[in-house]
Amino acid sequence: MEEVVHARGHENVSAEHASTFEVTTDDWLTPAGDCILAVEADRAPADFAPAFVEACRDAGARITTTFEADGHTEEVVGRGHPDLAFESERSMVGRTSEYVDERTFVVGAGKAAAGFDRDLIEALSAGAELTVTVRVEPAE
H-helix or E-strand containing 56? helix 50-56
Q: Which has more confidence, 139 or 43?
A: 43
Tell me what the mean pLDDT of segment 12-27 comes to: 98
Per-residue confidence (pLDDT) for residue 139, from 0 to 100: 82
Tell me what the mean pLDDT of segment 42-65 comes to: 97
**Domains, the chain, with CATH or none:** 2-99+110-125 (2.60.120.630)
Asked whether residue 140 carries a pLDDT value surpassing 80, the answer given is: no
Q: How far lies 73's CA from each of 20, 22, 36, 69, 81, in Å?
A: 18, 16, 17, 7, 25
Q: What percent of the chain has pLDDT over 70?
A: 100
